[in-house]
Amino acid sequence: MSSRTNISCLQEAARVAIFGGTHGNEMSGITLVNMWIQNSAEIERNRLVVKPFISNPRAVEKCSRYIDTDLNRAFTPETLSAPDVEGLPYEVQRAKEINQMFGPKGSSDAYDVIFDLHNTTSNMGSTLILESSTDLFNLQMVHYIKKALAPHTCSVLLNEHPQLKYSTTRSVAKHPIGLEVGPQPQGVLRSNVFESMRTILKHALDFIQLFNSGVEFPPCTVDVFRVQERMDYPRDTNGNITAMVHPHLQDCDWEPLNHGDPMFLTFDGRTVLYEGANTVYPTFINEAAYYEKQQAFMTTCREILAANAIRKACK
């Protein structure tokens, strides 16, 4: 009976939120959330409260990524405990409000699950972003979603890197999940990208409903890409970029990048090669919002995570 002893009993996921507009120009999430605020039938499930929510309404109104500072980097302990004074950046005030409504972060009162909807200009397809390799609920949910979407692929990005991990809006919840779908230009709504995101959420909510109704999910493994390193553009002494992502690397998210492969192309036509010793899997290649964050792409390595069987804990 050894399989019985490896079932993790987890708390029911009773309160779920779907955040759109954490970045005000990433249109799929904004459109979906606004639609569900008007009519929530599609996201209703038995025994489950699902709250659609626009995280950064001022940025959405302006159709810009943020007003003063990136909301999706604002959920640090320092920001969340900043005193209420005049002149606080808009997103800092907003982060504190969100933490009060859906958190507090790290407490037992926090929402169980938050889905944070994003788009990227990178050719990442459908991607789910995890912040922990040991969150069994999230691993099982991601496994369920991937199986339900097959044969359409869905990549899983794990950002557990001590320096590169950032304090996301969704990190207020016990089980944060990022949905990143691309490629889509900022300010543009593409029908196929919109429908992909909608379908991912449908499967995610189905999973939560099944879990809450007592279904046991057997042990599983999840193929992930683990964040390794941030690679910046070559720059001059003034900080201006001197090269572009090379055409051979452009749009090749998740494909192997080997030592000696072309990486950047300077404006006057010279190729810069990847010099890393090991094969890596680049992602977020040429994301518009990351030029100012000094990132041309991120490198990842492939890993297989194992998850125990899970079942809702009996009261």
Which residues inside 155-214 make contact with another protein, applying CB under 8 A?
183-192, 194
Nearer to another protein, 123 or 228 (CB): 123
- 104 burial (CB, 10 Å; 0-12 / 13-18 / 19+) is middle
Region of residue 187 (phi > 0: left; psi between -120 and 50: alpha; otherwise: beta)? left
Among 14, 49, 288, 306, binds another protein (CB under 8 A): 288
Among 141, 157, 245, 305, binds another protein (CB under 8 A): 245
Nearer to another protein, 26 or 131 (CB): 26
Nearer to another protein, 29 or 103 (CB): 29
Nearer to another protein, 20 or 176 (CB): 20
Q: Is 169 annotated for ligand binding?
A: yes
What is the Cα–Cα distance from 9 to 216, expressed in whole angstroms?
A: 9
- Among residues 180, 216, 229, 292, the one annotated as catalytic is 180
Q: Is 72 annotated for ligand binding?
A: yes
Q: Is 246 annotated for ligand binding?
A: no
Which tokens belong to 173? 């919840």
Closest to 278 in 3D by CA, of 296, 297, 299, 259: 259
Question: Residue 247's Cα: distance from chain center in Å?
Answer: 26
Region of residue 206 (phi > 0: left; psi between -120 and 50: alpha; otherwise: beta)? alpha
Among 4, 87, 238, 267, binds another protein (CB under 8 A): 267
Angle of helix 191-212 versus helix 136-149 axis, rounded to 10: 130
Q: Strand pairing partners for 3? A: none
* Piece of the chain touching another protein by CB under 8 A; list 1-9, 95-103, 239-247, 301-309: 239-247
Q: Is 23 annotated for ligand binding?
A: yes
- 270 burial (CB, 10 Å; 0-12 / 13-18 / 19+) is exposed
Q: Contact 281/300 with Cβ under 8 angstroms?
A: yes
Q: Is 275 a catalytic residue?
A: no
Q: How far is the CB of 65 from another protein (least distance, A)?
A: 9
Q: Is 171 annotated for ligand binding?
A: no
For residue 88, state whether it binds another protein (rule: CB under 8 A). Answer: no
Q: Is 26 annotated for ligand binding?
A: yes
What is the Cα–Cα distance from 250 to 261, expressed in whole angstroms?
A: 12
Nearer to another protein, 121 or 169 (CB): 121
What is the Cα–Cα distance from 126 to 283, expressed in whole angstroms?
A: 12
* Piece of the chain touching another protein by CB under 8 A; list 5-13, 82-90, 159-167, 261-269: 261-269
Number of residues located near another protein, criterion CB under 8 A: 31
Question: Which residues contribute to the annotated binding site for N-acetyl-L-aspartate?
Answer: 65, 180, 290
Q: What does the binding site for another protein look like in residue numbers (CB under 8 A)?
A: 31, 34-35, 63, 121, 183-192, 194, 240-241, 244-247, 250, 265, 267-268, 286, 288-289, 291-292
Binding-site residue numbers for substrate are 72-73, 166-170
For the annotated catalytic residues, the residue numbers are: 180
